[in-house]
Amino acid sequence: MELKFVDPRALNENPDKARRSKSSPQADALLLATIKAVGIVQPPVVAPETDGGNGYVIDAGHRRVKQAIAAGLEEIAVLVIERSEDGGAMRSLAETLAHEQLNPVDQWRAIERLVALNWTEEAIAIALALPVRQIKKLRLLANVLPAMLDQMAKGDMPDERQLRTIASAALEDQKEIWKKHKPSKADPQVSWWAVAQGLTRTRMFAKHASFGDDLAQAYGIAWVEDLFAPADEDSRYTTDVDAFLGAQQEWMTNHLPKRGVIVEAGQWGEAKLPPKAERIYGKPGKSDHTAMYLDRDGKVQTVAYRMPEVKKPNGKGAASDDAGDTTVVAKSRPDVTRKGIEMIGDFRTDALHDALARAPIEEDTLMALLILAFAGRNVSVDSGSSDTVYGHARLERHAALLFGEGGRLDYDRETLHQAARKVLIEVLSCRENRTNSGIVARVAGDTIGADGFLPNMGSDEFMSCLSRPALEASCKGTPVLPRARVKDTRAALVEHFKEGTFVHPSALFAPDVAELTSWATRHAAPDEDDEGSVPEVDELDGDQTEASAHDHPVDDHDTVENTEAWRVAAE
């Protein structure tokens, strides 16, 4: 055996080499980077040509020779041995099979040796063609219990997240957990998930804190930097959960708004509102309440809610004429749940009010809408002709804008228009409660294009209100395909509509033509023969909440007259 220095380009490949498949580009890049950084550590093995030539044939080290040429080396060291009878075939196979990748623990020990020799992590990463993150990950092993290291050296490694959790725990804690989860003859594999779970400490992040440095100091909170988190975000955290939550609670107490309360979080992280409270998903009003609470991550969350008005008893029974009807009808789940309908009502009302405030409205249309608004079922006029008052719209403050000095009407056209818009906003509502204006609000919204003011409904909260058929129908026109599980379909749609806008068809303002025609027929002026008679009270205009996406169900017993005339008038 002799060590010689030769030009790698003068070496010939062995036709009997064992490794025929091409190596991966990543492996070649790693070898090339290593050769550039430290040269060839182990010289290739060559043998003289048997055909009488002066060259050499490679027995072992074909990849090293190839990458040395790629690195531009003009001369490399090789070990020259005698040519075997089989042309080096057995030697090539044995050498290839004997190669074994260093296990992570040995890699870590080698890296620590290099660090002790003043190599930086960045320089080691360049030399080994590895990410710096991988070098940092391996160096976490320095904080791992030796008994765990012995198990990891066998190739049984935790994933990166589990390794971080284990390395961040004290050695005493690791020792206690290892007693419970160390391998046995019956089960030689370790459940690293269970080990990491036993060592997990809840982290409360600074980015979720509403309080400032003053409360942090008062509660003795010391922030720790997560070195493995992305550099562009605040990764500070604390494991002192009690102190963090105490500071959050004090901050909420100091910043509680008027008509606000602090509530607890439910089982799923939702706010536990007072009994009979109705959550508001749109813009809250001045008389609405605010609930503040801490979610699962310790973040301060705020929701608005409305308490029901106290109704005065009228002393009359509400016996039903149909009390004897015991027919049971099987119910199927609607496309949109009751909560979804309530959310749509809030969305519609906000969109309608935005459109009334900002959308261009012609003067004739504005006057027509005012007339239409007072036909809403949430509006009544206490003029003495009726003893029953279902609701009261606060219109006086808007009417006061039209008066000048001396108590006389004195206004310009712009003031009139603004007052008309504000009155419409005060009166028209689509909410699913006693303030619902009914179909007239739908017609008004459709007339002024309020659909364009509806918000993006592609949230998980609204999508969870849709049935499987409704979710799958929402996939049409999108690259999202229905999944086997409903929650997977919902998650895919939420992700797709995150940056876009999704409006469910049932939330659009335009009512059904048949529904609109039926409503117009029922409320048409009485014929001359019926003049003086008292019209019957329409049950749909009372204080009633429907279970469908429309404001009124179509009454099959209604007689539809003058349908075409109403359709033309509506258009």
pLDDT digits (tens, 9 = 90+) for 453-485: 999 999 989 999 999 889 889 998 888 888 888
CB 183 within 8 A of CB 192: no
pLDDT band at 95 (very low <50, low <70, confident <90, very high): low
The residues near 129 (Cβ < 8 Å, ≥ 6 apart) are 29, 30, 32, 33, 34
Query: Helices (DSSP H) in 359-485: which residue ranges?
Result: 363-373, 396-399, 413-427, 439-447, 460-463, 468-474
C-alpha span between 237 and 244 (Å, rounded): 10
The single-letter DSSP state of residue 66 is H
The answer to whether residue 553 scores a pLDDT higher than 80 is no
| C-beta neighbour count of 72 within 10 angstroms | 8
DSSP annotation of 166: H
Q: Model confidence at 296, in pLDDT bands (50, 70, 90)? A: confident
Instruction: Please give the radius of gyration of the chain, using alpha carbons only, rounded to the nearest integer.
Output: 39
pTM: 0.40
Nearest-5° angle of CA 312, CA 307, CA 266?
140
Closest CA relative to residue 348, chosen from 500, 463, 507: 507
The whole-chain average pLDDT of the chain stands at: 78
pLDDT for 194: 84
Q: What is the per-residue pLDDT across 192-246, written as a single tens digit (0 to 9) for each?
A: 888 887 887 677 889 999 999 999 999 999 998 877 677 778 888 888 888 899 9
Return the exposure string of 51-66: e unless at least 16 CB atoms fall within 10 Å of the residue's CB, then b.
eeeeebbbbbbbbbbb
Whether pLDDT at 497 is above 80: yes
Q: Which of 424, 501, 453 is nearest to 354 (CA)?
A: 453
E strand or H helix at 237: strand 236-238
Cα–Cα dist 27/20, whole Å: 15
State pLDDT tens for residues 513-540. 888 888 888 777 555 444 444 444 343 3
pLDDT value at residue 394? 57
And the tokens for 431? 């909410």
Condensed to tens digits (0 to 9), the pLDDT of residues 37-47 reads 888 878 888 88
Q: DSSP letters of 104-128? A: HHHHHHHHHHHHHTT--HHHHHHHH
Confidence of residue 364 (pLDDT cuts 50, 70, 90): confident
* Angstrom distance (rounded) from CA 273 to CA 279: 8
Q: What are the DSSP E strand ranges found in 146-296?
A: 204-205, 224-225, 236-238, 260-262, 278-280, 289-294
Check: CB of residue 57 under 8 Å from CB of residue 49: yes
The string of pLDDT tens digits covering residues 13-62 is: 877 665 666 777 877 887 888 888 888 878 888 888 876 667 888 888 88
